[in-house]
Amino acid sequence: MKITKIKVVDSIMGSGKTSAAIQMMNKDADHKYIFITPFLDEIDRIKHACPNKRFFDPKNYDAEGHFTKKQDSFHDLLAKGGNIASTHALFKQSNEETRELIQAGNYVLVLDEVMDIVEYLTIKKSDKELLFDNKLIYVDNEGYVCWNNEDKKAKEYDGKFNDVKNMANNRNLLFYRGAILIWTFPHSIFNAFKKVYILTYKFSGQIQKYYYDLNNIEYEYFHINHIDSSFTIHEGKSNDKEVRNRLKTLINIYEGTLNDIGKEKYSLSNSWYEKRNQSLIRLKNNVSNYFKHKMKAKSNQIIWTTFKDYQSKISSPGYQRSFVSCNIRATNQYKDRSYLAYTANRFMNPIVEGFFKERKIEIDQDTWATGELIQWIWRSAIRENGQIHIYIPSQRMRDLLLRWLEE
C-alpha cells in the first residue's frame, strides 16, 4: 500500500500560508487539487484566486436542480475529475467510496487548518444500551464498534441511528473504557492522495499530530518564504522569532489584582467552572471592571471568550454581544477589536486525552493550550499590527503566552 508522507506547513498566522498554496496550485499544471477549509468564504477566495483551475464546490442539488446530498455532489465532482474546494464538515464524511474516487483521480490535498479529527461521540446511555441490547452494534477484537450487518434487521435499519450506522460501517468508531464511542477520521483517506499539505501553526501540540502518530502516518515540516509579493513553501521548520519579537511590542497583558482569581493551575478550567458558582459572579465582575473601568473600552472594541456552556454566566451589558468562541479559526471579522478578555484555562478533553494515553501516545497539554490561545488572539487587531490589551485571569494561560513570546 502506498504511504503518503504529510507535508505540514507549520507557520505563524499571517505568514502567507494560503497565499503560498494559491501560488503553488496556479503554477501546477500536472495535478488536480482538493482544497479543504473551515469556512465558506475561503472557498470563494480559492475559486476567484485560481480561475484557470476552475474550482467547484459541492452543492445540495444536481445539474438539473434536484436536491441531493452534498456528499453525493462531492463524489460526482471527484468522478468527473474536477478541482474541488469544500469545507471540513463535508470532508469529515469521507468514506470508502470517497477514498477510491480520490485515488483514481490522482488528487493533491491542501487542508487549511487541522480538523476535529478525533472526538468523543455524545450519545445517551439509554440509546447506547438500546443499540447493544438490540444487537445493532458490537465491538470487535480491535476495539472498533461495528454495525451488525450479519443480522437482516440491523442491515436494513433506517432511522434515528443512521449516523452511528454509517460511522460504524466506515470504521470510524472505537469503544473506550466500556462507555464512550470515539469518532476517528478514516486515515486511509490521506494515503489516497498523491500529496497532502496541511496549513497550520503549532502542529506539535495538535490532536491531528497525535492521530498521525497513532496510525503511523509520517509527516515532515515545511515553512513559508516571503520575498516581495511571492509566497513559497520550503522544507524545514519555520523560525518565527522575529515575528514574536514584534508581537511582544503589540500585546499588553493585564497584571493586577483582577488576576487573583486564577492563581491555581486548574483555575478557570472547565471543571473549575462546573464547581464554583460564586466565583463566576466574581469573574463576571472582573471582566466588566476590566473593560469598563480599567480600559474604558466601547462594546465595538471588545472581544471576549469563555467555555460556551458558561457564556451567559460571564456575559454582561456592554460586552455580551462581543463573545467570540474560544475555538474559532480563520476569520478576520474582529480585526478592529483591541480589548480582549480570555477567561478560559484550556485543557484537551480528558476523554480524548485518555484515548491517546491508553495507546501510549503522550499528549503535550501546554503546547495544545498555547496554540488555542494564540489562534484566538489572532482574531483581533493584532492580525493587522494593531496594539491590543488583554485580560487573561488564568495564571497558567498567561504564563504560556509569555513563554511563547520569549521562545
> Is 60 a member of any domain?
yes
Q: Clarify whether residues 267 and 287 are in a common domain.
A: yes
What is the arrangement of strands in the sheet containing 219-227, beginning at the earlier edge strand? Answer: 84-87, 32-37, 107-112, 195-200, 6-10, 219-227, 230-235
Q: Clarify whether residues 154 and 43 are in a common domain.
A: no
- Tell me the CATH number at 100: 3.40.50.300
What's the number of domains the chain is made of? 3
> Is 280 a member of any domain?
yes
What is the arrangement of strands in the sheet containing 339-342, beginning at the earlier edge strand? Answer: 251-253, 388-391, 339-342, 302-305
Residue 337 in 3-state DSSP?
A: coil
Q: Clarify whether residues 177 and 289 are in a common domain.
A: no
pLDDT tens column, 206-234 = 999 999 999 999 999 999 998 888 899 99
Residue percentage of the chain with pLDDT more than 70: 98
What's the mean per-residue pLDDT of the chain?
93
Asked if 16 contacts 49 with a C-beta cutoff of 8 angstroms, the reply is no
Domain hosting 205: range is 6-114+188-239
> Is 21 a member of any domain?
yes
Q: What is the pTM of this model?
A: 0.90
Q: Look at residue 228 in the predicted model and tell me its pLDDT.
A: 82
> Is 146 a member of any domain?
yes
pLDDT tens column, 304-335 = 999 999 999 999 998 989 999 998 876 778 99
Q: Clarify whether residues 328 and 398 are in a common domain.
A: yes
d(CA 138, CA 274): 34
Residue percentage of the chain with pLDDT more than 90: 78
> Is 283 a member of any domain?
yes
d(CA 82, CA 79): 8
Q: Clarify whether residues 75 and 167 are in a common domain.
A: no
Q: What's 293's DSSP letter? A: I
pLDDT tens column, 277-299 = 889 999 999 999 999 999 999 99
**Bridge-based pairing state of the strands 32-37 and 6-10:** unpaired
Q: Look at residue 170 in the predicted model and tell me its pLDDT.
A: 87
Q: Look at residue 82 in the predicted model and tell me its pLDDT.
A: 94
Q: Clarify whether residues 227 and 251 are in a common domain.
A: no
pLDDT tens column, 79-123 = 999 999 999 999 999 999 999 999 999 999 999 999 989 988 888
Q: Clarify whether residues 146 and 262 are in a common domain.
A: no
Q: What's 5's DSSP letter? A: P
Domain boundary among 146, 165, 184: 184
Q: Look at residue 1 in the predicted model and tell me its pLDDT.
A: 52
pLDDT tens column, 141-156 = 988 999 999 999 999 9
Q: Clarify whether residues 342 and 292 are in a common domain.
A: yes
Strand partners, 346: none
Once rounded to an integer, what is the mean pLDDT over residues 238-245? 89
Q: Look at residue 306 in the predicted model and tell me its pLDDT.
A: 97
Q: Clarify whether residues 149 and 97 are in a common domain.
A: no
Quote the Cα angle for 26-224-346, to 5°.
Answer: 115
Name which of 133-142, 175-184, 388-397 the model is least confident about. Answer: 175-184
pLDDT tens column, 140-193 = 998 899 999 999 999 999 999 999 998 999 888 999 888 888 898 988 999 999
Q: Clarify whether residues 212 and 286 are in a common domain.
A: no
Q: Clarify whether residues 14 and 102 are in a common domain.
A: yes
Closest C-alpha to 233, from 19, 5, 2? 19
Residue 351 sits at φ, ψ, to 5 deg, of -70, -45
Q: Look at residue 278 in the predicted model and tell me its pLDDT.
A: 87
Q: Look at residue 4 in the predicted model and tell me its pLDDT.
A: 81
More confident site: 258 or 358: 258
pLDDT at 130 over 70: yes
> Is 138 a member of any domain?
yes
Q: Clarify whether residues 163 and 201 are in a common domain.
A: no
> Is 1 a member of any domain?
no
> Is 270 a member of any domain?
yes
pLDDT at 136 over 90: yes
**Bridge-based pairing state of the strands 118-121 and 180-184:** antiparallel
